[in-house]
Copies of this chain bind each other. A is one copy, B any other.
Amino acid sequence: MEQHYQLLRKHIEEICVLTDEEWDVVAQRFTYKSLKKHQFLIQKDQLVPCEYWIIKGLTKAYAIDSNGKEHILQFAMEQYWTSDFNAFQNKVPATIIIDCIEDSEFFCLKWEDREYLCHEIPKLNHFFRIKSHYGYIALQQRILSLLTETAEERYNNLIKKMPKLIQRVPKKLLAAYLGVTRETLSRF
C-alpha cells in the first residue's frame, strides 16, 4: 500500500512538489477501494461522493442511449482520474455509468476533502486547476476529431495515440468510444 501512496505523490508532484508535511495532509484524505471486473464504480441516478484516481486497472465511463446502445466517454487506466464529474461537482445524481473492464484499485477523494485540500494547500488548488485545464484541452481535441475525421481515421489515430490501451480493450468497446458500430470497425 505504501508504494501506491508513493505513486500518487509522484503523480501530483509532476505538477507541484510538496513538502513531507503537506503530503501527509494530502495522503490522509484519500481512501482505498478495490473492485473486480464488471463491478460498478458509479451507477446511474446515484449520488457520486468521490472522484477516483486509478492505482491499477481499467475502467470505462459511458452512457446508454434510448436504443440501449452504449457510448463511451472515457477509458481510464493507471494514473488517470475518473468520475461523473458533473454529478460529483454539483451533487446531483449520476447520468453516466462507470464500471471496471479489469480488476481495479482506486484512491477515492470525497468532494469535501478535495475542497479542504484546495483551501488548505494552495499547491493542490493549483494541481487540480491545471489537471482540469489539461482535461478540457483533451476533450477539445476529441470533439475536433469527431467533427473532422472519418471513423477509420479516428481509429488509426487512437492506435497511434494510445497503443497500450488498444491491447487491453475489446474492439467492440473501442467502437463504442469512436462512435461507430463494431461491425464497421472490424472492416477497417
Contact = CB atoms under 8 A, between A and B. Distances in A.
B148 A71 contact: yes
A20 to B, nearest CB: 22
A166 to B, nearest CB: 19
A146 to B, nearest CB: 5
Contacts of A134: 89
For this chain, the copies found in one complex come to 2
Contacts of A71: 144, 147-148
A116 interface: no
Contact of A126 (B125, B135, B136): B125
A144 B73 contact: yes
A93 interface: no
A163 interface: no
A140 interface: yes
Interface string A175-186: 000010000000
Contacts of A135: 132, 136
A133 B63 contact: no
Interface string A90-132: 0000000000000000000000000000110010011011001
Interface in A42-79: 63, 65, 69, 71, 73
22 contacts: A63-B144, A71-B148, A73-B140, A85-B133, A85-B136, A85-B137, A86-B141, A89-B133, A89-B137, A119-B122, A122-B122, A125-B126, A128-B129, A129-B132, A132-B133, A136-B136, A136-B139, A139-B140, A139-B143, A143-B143, A146-B179, A147-B179
Given A125-B129, A136-B136, A142-B143, 13 more contacts: A73-B143, A85-B133, A85-B136, A89-B137, A119-B122, A129-B129, A132-B132, A132-B135, A139-B139, A143-B143, A146-B146, A146-B147, A146-B179
